[in-house]
Structure 1
Amino acid sequence: MKKVLKLVLIVLMFAAGVFSFDTITAKAAVNDFQVKAILPSNNNPQSSYFDLKVKPNAEQTLRIRITNNSSKRQLFNVKPNNATTNSNGVIDYSLQAKKDASATTSFSDMLGDQTGKQVSVAGKSSATVSFKLRTPKQSFDGTVLGGFIIYSASAAEQAQKSKQSSNLAHYVIAARLVESTKQITPDLVYHGTKYVGTNGLPRIQVNLQNTQPTIIGDVHFKATVTGEGNKKVAKVDQKMLNFAPNSSFGYQLPTLNNQKLKSGQYRLNMTVKGDNGSWKFDKLFTVTDKDGKAAKIAKPGINWKQIIMWIIEGLAVLIVLGYIINKFRKWMKKD
């Protein structure tokens, strides 16, 4: 029995090793470094990121220290971006968003033509990257939100060769700029609903815009979509969302059980409650055959890894059962 159990254990360990190998190699691609904002005198002392009280037509330097913890020299990319809201309803600093149509100024405007910098850092040492920031002559109300995304270009090149680029370490340092403490009343505008496909899955995209220079925080988002015969096709109840100031975004609702939508008319009933405002929407929208084709919803794929694992596990069970049955027969013959 011990030999049989040993054989079964070897089979299962082999299977586990085969199907977890990609995870092991992915970890090796994550680069080892740290970043820190060197905070200026006009920074909020309670914040570890750039949280600046600025004046009109003023210039200052923003500095970031990068520490390379590895033993090898690395080349790092530092890219400034405007903050926006992504399809999950989260403030995102990595999407290279253009200035929203509702904004009078933006973080990228204040940095001018500084779209990014590279710095080479020796192993076990640090280096500083600087960006010149100039505020507009015209004063602005509310909050301007942006940030810097930092990653190792050396690790990115290495990961691309090994096809593990999705496991790279990226760090973000946010930048929040205000000139006054004037309270801004937010305004969330509805810009229609569209049936789309994301990674081959059906999604109902609700296009929204925060038109004011203020964060809508602590958002509780509730939405229900019904179709013909008042049949529910999507339901979302999400909390702790945050919408960036002056941002346009398509919040995506998954359909129930990832079912495709048929062509026809649908009703969206939606409530959005934030820490500084609430909004209700009751809207009709139409899904056409053309929309369905454009969405490019993928057919459910076959998970071959899972199937092979089931086969291996099934074989292991059969080996054990066969051994037990064989032992039982021998015992019966003795009697």
Structure 2
Amino acid sequence: MKKKSILLFLSILSIFLSLSPTIAKAEESIDFTVKPQITGSQIGDNNSYFNLRTSSEKKEELPIKITNYANKTSEYIVSVNSATTNMNGIVDYSQPSVKSIESKQQFSDLVEKREQTISIASGEEKVIYIALTAPKNSFDGVILGGITIAKKQDDKDDSKKMIKNEFQYAIAVQLSENDQDITPNLQGGPVQLTQINKRNAVQMLVKNPQPKVMKQVEGTFTITKKGQKTAIVQEKRNGMSFAPNSEFSLFTMLNDKFKSGEYTYTIKLVNAEGTWTFSEDFSIDQKEANTLNKKSVDEAPEHSSWLYIIVIMGIVILILLLILGYTLWKFQQVKKEQ
């Protein structure tokens, strides 16, 4: 009977464990490629993007080869946008409505078509051409934009997916007329409270008003109580880049609830061309803190689903052990009576 009880316990335990979830990483294969076909206007040695030396109203046809490796005909959306900078401090070519600041020249205004859809049969390749006309007025520095190519999603496939994962290629296009050196001049702006993915954060508006790409920027982000030097939060980021003539917000996560009080947010940005430090005071009143905290996951301690699973498994195992112990004790009692 003892052996039967142990076997029964192990059987129940194995069944329970087999029902616990497994972690799987779903990877969809990238079934198309994109490659710029370099033209005679290209300068520099990097052929992964278009770096064009242009002149007043010069016309260009930018060829891009798209190859479809899927087992069916696919459609691709080709979009042209001016470059901007996202909140992570990375140059972004995917925002269609963004306008460059302090610049009369918008890259997206220089192209004939801002968006088009093309169809490519399975296993075939096609070269598309982006018609571009350089600005009439001469300019120093660079004008930066990008061409993004994304596979058009099948509506039927999308309805079966709770989360839509879309892969897209982005090809930068940089225009210049000369090698005139541009002096960098980053500027800091106002501070705001915000939430990113339901987490409390503080952000500052930053501007790069010059027609120059800021590269390899290191940033130190610090929040202190106003008038104090001890950091409440501090983080560092490396490898940031800022698009020319762009404004953007750089943020710092609090990892905590907003608390009323007077604070100072300081951002220090450094690269090979200079150092820029911006400090702005900001205040949090109790009403605003309460409103934002109610929407934030920082309001309450986090409990992952795995924690609940472990607790439940522990309880079940404990119950099974108690059942087994009682069964063995009962068996011993019956054996003594005999």
Taking structure 1 as reference, are residues 92 and 267 closer, same or farther at Cα in structure 2, changes over 3 Å only?
same
Taking structure 1 as reference, are residues 244 and 331 closer, same or farther at Cα in structure 2, changes over 3 Å only?
farther
Q: Secondary structure at the match of 1:313?
A: helix
Distance in structure 2 (CA, Å) of the matches to 1:174 and 1:275: 23
Taking structure 1 as reference, are residues 61 and 259 closer, same or farther at Cα in structure 2, changes over 3 Å only?
same
Q: Secondary structure at the match of 1:80?
A: strand
Please tell me whether the aligned partners of residues 4 and 319 of structure 1 are also in contact (alpha carbons under 8 angstroms). Answer: no
Identical counterparts, % of pairs: 26
Residue 164 (structure 1) shift:
4.1
- 1:195-238 Cα offsets, whole Å, 9 max, x none, are 11222211101100001011111111112111268464432211
Q: Secondary structure at the match of 2:147?
A: strand
| Aligned partner letter, 2:306 | Q
With the length of structure 2 as denominator, give the TM-score of the two structures: 0.83
Q: Secondary structure at the match of 2:93?
A: strand
Aligned residue number for residue 265 of structure 2: 268
Please tell me whether the aligned partners of residues 258 and 284 of structure 2 are also in contact (alpha carbons under 8 angstroms). Answer: no
Taking structure 1 as reference, are residues 127 and 296 closer, same or farther at Cα in structure 2, changes over 3 Å only?
farther
Give the one of 179, 192, 196 matched to 1:198.
Answer: 196
* Aligned residue runs from structure 1 range 54-133, under 5 A: 54-112=54-112, 114-133=113-132
Residue 87 (structure 1) shift:
0.8
| Aligned partner letter, 1:58 | K
Aligned residue number for residue 48 of structure 1: 48
Distance in structure 1 (CA, Å) of the matches to 2:307 and 2:220: 37
Q: Is 1:298–2:295 an aligned residue pair? A: yes
Taking structure 1 as reference, are residues 247 and 232 closer, same or farther at Cα in structure 2, changes over 3 Å only?
same
Residue 70 (structure 1) shift:
1.0
Residue 259 (structure 1) shift:
2.2
Taking structure 1 as reference, are residues 186 and 8 closer, same or farther at Cα in structure 2, changes over 3 Å only?
farther
Please tell me whether the aligned partners of residues 195 and 204 of structure 1 are also in contact (alpha carbons under 8 angstroms). Answer: yes
Please tell me whether the aligned partners of residues 216 and 238 of structure 2 are also in contact (alpha carbons under 8 angstroms). Answer: yes
Unaligned runs of 5+ in 2: 1-5
| Aligned partner letter, 2:167 | A
Residue 325 (structure 1) shift:
4.5
Distance in structure 2 (CA, Å) of the matches to 1:193 and 1:259: 17
RMSD: 3.0
With the length of structure 1 as denominator, give the TM-score of the two structures: 0.84
Distance in structure 2 (CA, Å) of the matches to 1:6 and 1:62: 67
Distance in structure 1 (CA, Å) of the matches to 2:41 and 2:327: 81
Give the one of 283, 286, 292 matched to 2:283.
Answer: 286
| Aligned partner letter, 1:277 | G
Taking structure 1 as reference, are residues 238 and 14 closer, same or farther at Cα in structure 2, changes over 3 Å only?
same
- 1:105-138 Cα offsets, whole Å, 9 max, x none, are 13112115x2201001111212222211000111
Distance in structure 2 (CA, Å) of the matches to 1:160 and 1:42: 41
Taking structure 1 as reference, are residues 12 and 242 closer, same or farther at Cα in structure 2, changes over 3 Å only?
farther
Residue 241 (structure 1) shift:
1.0
Distance in structure 2 (CA, Å) of the matches to 1:215 and 1:294: 38
Q: Is 1:250–2:255 an aligned residue pair? A: no
Aligned length: 325
More displaced 10-residue stretch of structure 1: 324-333 or 183-192: 324-333
Taking structure 1 as reference, are residues 327 and 275 closer, same or farther at Cα in structure 2, changes over 3 Å only?
farther
More displaced 10-residue stretch of structure 1: 163-172 or 283-292: 283-292
Taking structure 1 as reference, are residues 110 and 325 closer, same or farther at Cα in structure 2, changes over 3 Å only?
same
Unaligned runs of 5+ in 1: none
Please tell me whether the aligned partners of residues 226 and 281 of structure 2 are also in contact (alpha carbons under 8 angstroms). Answer: no
Please tell me whether the aligned partners of residues 216 and 275 of structure 1 are also in contact (alpha carbons under 8 angstroms). Answer: no
Aligned residue number for residue 187 of structure 2: 189
Higher helix share: 1
Taking structure 1 as reference, are residues 290 and 181 closer, same or farther at Cα in structure 2, changes over 3 Å only?
farther
Distance in structure 2 (CA, Å) of the matches to 1:84 and 1:286: 29
| Aligned partner letter, 1:91 | V
Bigger Cα Rg = 2
Aligned residue number for residue 149 of structure 1: 148
Please tell me whether the aligned partners of residues 258 and 292 of structure 2 are also in contact (alpha carbons under 8 angstroms). Answer: no
Taking structure 1 as reference, are residues 312 and 291 closer, same or farther at Cα in structure 2, changes over 3 Å only?
closer
